[in-house]
A and B are shown apart, each in its own frame.
Chain A
Amino acid sequence: MVEHQLEHYLKTYFGFDTFKAGQQSIIESVLAGHNTLATLPTGSGKSITYQLPALLTTGITIVVSPLLSLMIDQVKVLKAKGIKRVATLTSLHNSHQKQRILNQLSNVQLLYCSPEMLQQSQVIDYLKQQHVNYFVIDEAHCLSQWGHEFRTDYLKLNAVHNELGQPTLLALSATATDDVQQDIVNHFNLPFEKIIYPIDRPNITLSVSHVETVEEKHRQLTKLLEKKRMPTMIYFSSRMKSESVCHMLQQQFPDRAIAFYHGGMESEDRLLIQQQFMYDQLDVICCTSAFGMGVDKANIRLVIHYHMPSDLESYIQEIGRAGRDGQPSLAFLLYQRGDETLPFHLIGQELPDDEMISAFLQSVDLSDKLTETQERFLVFQTEKNRYLSNDLFLTIRQVRDQRLAVKKDSIMGLLKWIHTDQCRRQELYKKFQEEVKNAEFDCCDQCGFNIENWELPDDGSFYIEVNWEKRLKELFNKR
């Protein structure tokens, strides 16, 4: 398709005048019918690379994603833009709703699907009756056991793809190392066009601060926020901590709008907080990783990590929310010795211990003892190795240990980065791309950046009208 034609459709459907870097070459590759493996950094419009091809063709495009909330957000965005022939098929639907969606498949152009839904033969039967144009795998790094989020239910996608008659594949990820890319290609055993887009962000300054105590952590946090009012995200690994630090900051900064956000809140409250942040009504949001799915806010100036995440990939994605407008922004990580215990503890909960494995194999009822990920792991490994292995216990334990080692390596990788004395920019991105661009503003604390001297122009603050009569006039545009 001619270039200006594609841009015409981009304008019609999404209201943008031009493509962001990387988007167009992916779309062209997909439209040409090439199986495509592509990486695009968070916030650079990954979703448009399959939404546009889906809208330009008759038939159905299937998007597999493990992130329910992300799918729901995207469908909301599309519907707000007037694009209605989209649907989701997830475990959140009851059988009645599911049937209704399946009955209307011929009216759907874009179907978002969780991987487990594609394990159901009923779903596959309905999909086989449709003409499937494109088979999109979002978060494709979940296919790789070297990836930071390996998901066993992704390993059946090859079979599904074959059943559906091998439609054109698009495997997307924000970050994929060489190992991960190779795993994806091997899984489908098909030729792929690779479009790897650099994920480094030259407008983000990187800085890490080592503290001895919690009090010092809080002091540094306060000192940083004191500098000026700006759209700020603070990441926490614990819901409780996000609330308590939020309350502390509210007391210290009574004239700022500060709120917390985590997965334990009511969905209507979550919507309000998310929208307020988008509309610049909130200065600071104290959140867990539950926040930010589908949030595309351009002017976030500061992303603080109160807790470290569990791998470099998550860290890159989370700081990637800063400075999407290209303006100078800062990623600031607070590290206190021992902070890594939390992520180590969390991976322990993701995989079964020896006792769980042997109990599971002896069909002991473990229903209330296993976490969801532990159970998924055990079910999959048992099924996969049942006829291949003489000693199922040893085999599964070996796989478990291997996964555990990968996860521990991920945490160690991030720890190593926290303790590095090299340039943080080089160290953070070199695993993911061959060449790392120079910083456009300050580079990092190892290259001479000093948080004390950090300055940003003041861009004014949001004012909320409190008088009801004036506000009512504003709402209805009466002067």
Chain B
Amino acid sequence: MSFSRWLLPRLKQIEGERTPRSVLHILRGKKSAQTFQDSRLFRLTAFYHVLPKLSVETFDQAINQLKKDGLIEEQDSLVVITEMGEQFCQDDWRFELNGMDYGAITRPFYIRLQLLIQSVSNLIHKQTQFFPITDNESVQASIKKLFNDYDPLAQNGDVLYDELNRLFRLLNENEANLMMLTISGSDQIGLSYQQLAEKWQTNPIMIELSVQSALHQWLRYISSNPDSFNLIKQLIPKQEENRLTESALVTKHMYNRGMSIDQIVEKRGLKPSTIEDHIVELAMKEYLFSIREFISLEDEKRIRHVLEEDTTKRLRKIKEQLDDQLSYFQIRLVIARLGQEKEAISNG
């Protein structure tokens, strides 16, 4: 499958609403509230930050190809799928991507894992001299530290072998073989995406997406079974979200996958007010979290106005001043946002 054809169903999601470039921003994981909000609004969170190095030229080339093939058009610079294009939107190659949760940590995680495997493999084969697959000194330092801190590693590679074995079994045969070819060892250097693309007769971007997909599966599995991956879990970079309560984190992941509050309530068997608490926590702690899905800009302005006048912050009173047209949940969201803005100002 070509990259342009793979893009088509993504473009379908934003049809008539956004320019093609907005999908580029999502794929590259642009850190703006707009892009963040778009990902969720158009159910593209799985693809957020999965191709951080995608160039504008490559992306525009794919868009032009789709236009040339008569599959999309631009009307007032917004994407429109043609009748012929509609027929190709069904075949959806989503992979197992989960970019919103893992996009930002996938690359650092993987380069550390690759260097760890290369180091251990060389150690086992008694090769004391080798060229590390990355020049990045902080990555090299983190692996060196792991060797110092984690005794079993220096003794033999059994722990790593066992953990890797279980991770590779999660993947299908084809994926597993592909992933293994990216790994360097004592006797063999991994292949680049360009070379894998030649072997698989596809293009480097599709290979990169396959690798991302495999890594996201691994990361999800390791996060939910941390006790079974005592070694490899240490390679996962710490994320900001660790500041969230554990339960809020679960809600966040479900929300990022596109579930509504009602769906999360049903899935988790918790009270709606609990899930609402989580959402408020997200609004308070996560700068990029958008509250627009729960309250319009107009209503947010009204609440802000009342809050400026009334410093008592008693919810009941505020709700009355708004003629009972808005919910407690909505008011709390705006307060949470304000609190975060204040924190940002005092920190800045």
Contact = CB atoms under 8 A, between A and B. Distances in A.
B183 A475 contact: yes
B181 A464 contact: yes
A279 interface: yes
A454 interface: no
B177 A76 contact: no
Interface string A449-479: 0000000000000001111110110111110
B294 interface: no
Contacts of A76: 131, 135
Contacts of B187: 279, 474
Given A250-B198, A272-B192, A466-B181, A475 B186 contact: yes
A478 B162 CA distance: 12
Contacts of A467: 177
Interface in B176-218: 176-177, 179-181, 183-192, 194-195, 198
Contacts of B189: 272, 275-276, 278-279, 281
A269 to B, nearest CB: 5
A477 B127 CA distance: 12
Contact of A468 (B120, B177, B191): B177
Nearest to B120: A476
A464 B188 contact: yes
A267 B177 contact: no
A275 B189 CA distance: 7
A466 B120 CA distance: 20
A273 B192 contact: yes
Interface in B92-150: 117, 120-121, 124-125, 128-131, 133-135
Given A468-B177, A472-B161, A271 B124 contact: no
A287 B130 CA distance: 23
A271 B129 CA distance: 16
Contacts of B165: 472
A268 B193 CA distance: 11
Interface in B135-177: 135, 157-158, 160-161, 164-165, 168, 173, 176-177
A80 interface: yes
Contact of B124 (A275, A281, A465, A476): A476
A476 B180 contact: no
Contacts of B181: 464, 466, 471
B176 A468 contact: yes
A236 B160 CA distance: 43
A10 to B, nearest CB: 16
Nearest to B160: A476
B161 A259 contact: no
B180 A275 contact: no
Contacts of B185: 474-475
B181 to A, nearest CB: 7
Which of A82, A259, A278, A476: most chain B Cβ within 10 A?
A476
A81 interface: yes
Contacts of B195: 257, 259
Contact of B168 (A472, A476, A477, A478): A472
Contact of B191 (A268, A272, A469): A272
Contacts of A474: 185, 187
Contacts of B125: 477
A275 B184 contact: yes
Contacts of A281: 188-189
A17 B189 CA distance: 28
Interface string B240-265: 00000000000000000000000000
B131 A80 contact: yes
Contacts of A271: 131, 133-135
Contact of A279 (B157, B164, B183, B188): B188
Contacts of A472: 161, 164-165, 168, 180
B121 A476 contact: yes
Interface in A247-297: 250, 257, 259, 267-269, 271-273, 275-276, 278-279, 281
Contacts of B179: 468
Given A272-B191, A468-B168, A80 B161 contact: no
Contacts of B130: 80
A268 B124 contact: no
Contact of B135 (A267, A273, A279): A267
A272 B194 CA distance: 11
B180 A268 contact: no
Contacts of B128: 82
A262 to B, nearest CB: 13
B152 to A, nearest CB: 14
A28 B180 CA distance: 49
Interface of B: 117, 120-121, 124-125, 128-131, 133-135, 157-158, 160-161, 164-165, 168, 173, 176-177, 179-181, 183-192, 194-195, 198
- Nearest 5 CB-CB pairings of A with B: A468-B180, A275-B189, A468-B176, A475-B185, A476-B161
Given A80-B131, A469-B168, A475-B117, 19 more contacts: A76-B131, A80-B129, A82-B128, A272-B189, A279-B188, A464-B181, A465-B188, A466-B177, A467-B177, A468-B177, A468-B179, A471-B183, A472-B161, A472-B165, A474-B185, A474-B187, A475-B183, A475-B186, A476-B120
14 contacts: A259-B195, A269-B192, A271-B135, A272-B190, A275-B184, A276-B189, A278-B189, A279-B188, A472-B161, A475-B121, A476-B124, A476-B160, A477-B125, A477-B157
